[in-house]
Amino acid sequence: MTTVTKDLFLNTLLCSTFGWRLANGKIPKELSPTTLFRMEEGKEIGRRARALFPEGVFIWETEHVIAARRTTEYLRESSCSVIFEGTFLFENYIARADILTRAADDYGWDLIEVKSSVNQKTEFIDDMAYTTLIARESGFSPNAIKLMLVDRNYRLGMEPHMLFQIIDCTTEVMARVDEFTPYLPEIRSLISQPIEPAPTLSYKCKNCDQFQVCFGKDIDCPIFIIPRLQQKKADEMIEKGIVCVLDIPDDYPLSVNQKRIVECVKCGRVRVDPGIRKMLQEIQWPAFYLDFETTMTALPLYPGIGPYEIILTQYSIHFCDQCGCVHTHREYIANPKLDCRRELAERLIEDLAGEGSIITYSSFEKTVIGALARIFPDLEEPLSQILDRIVDLEKFVHRLDHPGFQGKTSIKVVLPVMVPDLSYEGLEIANGDLAKVRFAMMAREMIHEHEWEETCVALLEYCKMDTLAMVRLHEALERMVNSE
Ligand code: SF4
CATH number at residue 318: 3.30.420
* Structural domain range at position 460: 275-482
Final residue belonging to a domain, choices 192, 225, 255: 192
Tell me if 197 is assigned to some domain.
Answer: no
**Are 147 and 55 within one domain?**
yes
pLDDT tens readout for residues 87-129: 999 999 999 999 999 987 767 999 999 999 999 999 999 999 9
Tell me if 117 is assigned to some domain.
Answer: yes
Report the chain's C-alpha Rg in angstroms.
Answer: 27
Inform me whether the pLDDT recorded for 364 exceeds 90.
yes
Give, using CA atoms, the residue closest to atom 4 of ligand 1: 214
Inform me whether the pLDDT recorded for 71 exceeds 80.
yes
**Are 316 and 433 within one domain?**
yes
**Are 264 and 279 within one domain?**
no
Query: Of 341, 391, 398, which Cα lies nearest the Cα of 365?
Result: 391
Query: Would you tell me how many other CB atoms lie within 10 Å of the CB of residue 216?
Result: 14
Inform me whether the pLDDT recorded for 86 exceeds 80.
yes
- Provide the pLDDT for residue 30: 85
H/E run at residue 175: helix 170-180
Does ligand 1 come within 6 angstroms of the Cβ of 210? yes
Final residue belonging to a domain, choices 243, 268, 293: 268
**Are 52 and 157 within one domain?**
yes
Pocket test for ligand 1, best of 12, 17, 206 (most atoms within 8 A of CB): 17
- Provide the pLDDT for residue 333: 98
- Provide the pLDDT for residue 56: 98
Task: List, in order, residues 6 or more apart from 379 with CB less than 8 Å away.
Answer: 345, 346, 349, 372, 373
Pocket test for ligand 1, best of 196, 200, 206, 208 (most atoms within 8 A of CB): 208
pLDDT tens readout for residues 261-320: 999 999 998 999 989 999 999 999 999 999 999 999 999 999 999 999 999 999 999 999
- The single-letter DSSP state of residue 190 is H
Give, using CA atoms, the residue closest to atom 5 of ligand 1: 18
Task: List, in order, residues 6 or more apart from 381 with CB less than 8 Å away.
Answer: none
- Provide the pLDDT for residue 29: 81
The mean pLDDT of 472-481, rounded to a whole number, is 95
- Provide the pLDDT for residue 407: 87
SS3 state at 401: strand
pLDDT tens readout for residues 174-224: 999 999 999 999 998 899 899 999 999 999 999 999 999 998 888 888 999
CATH number of the domain residue 180 falls in? 3.90.320.10
**Are 226 and 260 within one domain?**
yes
Does ligand 1 come within 6 angstroms of the Cβ of 214? yes
Query: Would you tell me how many other CB atoms lie within 10 Å of the CB of residue 75?
Result: 15
**Are 293 and 395 within one domain?**
yes
Q: Tell if the pTM clears 0.85, that is, is over it.
A: yes
**Are 308 and 431 within one domain?**
yes
Tell me if 139 is assigned to some domain.
Answer: yes
User: Which is the closest atom of ligand 1 to the Cα of 14?
Assistant: 7
Tell me if 201 is assigned to some domain.
Answer: no
Give, using CA atoms, the residue closest to atom 1 of ligand 1: 211
In whole angstroms, what is the distance from residue 60 CA to residue 78 CA? Answer: 20
Tell me if 27 is assigned to some domain.
Answer: yes
Contact yes or no for 376/340 (Cβ under 8 A): no
pLDDT, greater one: 129 or 2: 129
Tell me if 1 is assigned to some domain.
Answer: no
**Are 107 and 186 within one domain?**
yes
- Provide the pLDDT for residue 182: 95
**Are 252 and 282 within one domain?**
no
**Are 218 and 179 within one domain?**
no
Inform me whether the pLDDT recorded for 419 exceeds 80.
yes
User: Which is the closest atom of ligand 1 to the Cα of 205?
Assistant: 2
- Provide the pLDDT for residue 106: 66
User: Which is the closest atom of ligand 1 to the Cα of 200?
Assistant: 3
User: Which is the closest atom of ligand 1 to the Cα of 209?
Assistant: 6
The mean pLDDT of 351-368, rounded to a whole number, is 97
- Provide the pLDDT for residue 159: 98
Number of separate domains in the chain: 3
Query: Of 296, 398, 400, which Cα lies nearest the Cα of 41?
Result: 296
Contact yes or no for 422/415 (Cβ under 8 A): yes
**Are 318 and 467 within one domain?**
yes
Inform me whether the pLDDT recorded for 484 exceeds 90.
no
Does ligand 1 come within 6 angstroms of the Cβ of 11? no
Pocket test for ligand 1, best of 20, 191, 204 (most atoms within 8 A of CB): 204
Final residue belonging to a domain, choices 164, 192, 220: 192
Tell me if 200 is assigned to some domain.
Answer: no
Instruction: Give me the percent of the chain exceeding a pLDDT of 90.
Output: 92
In whole angstroms, what is the distance from residue 252 CA to residue 230 CA? Answer: 15
**Are 156 and 230 within one domain?**
no
Give, using CA atoms, the residue closest to atom 7 of ligand 1: 205
Contact yes or no for 325/475 (Cβ under 8 A): no
Mean pLDDT of the chain: 95
Tell me if 204 is assigned to some domain.
Answer: no
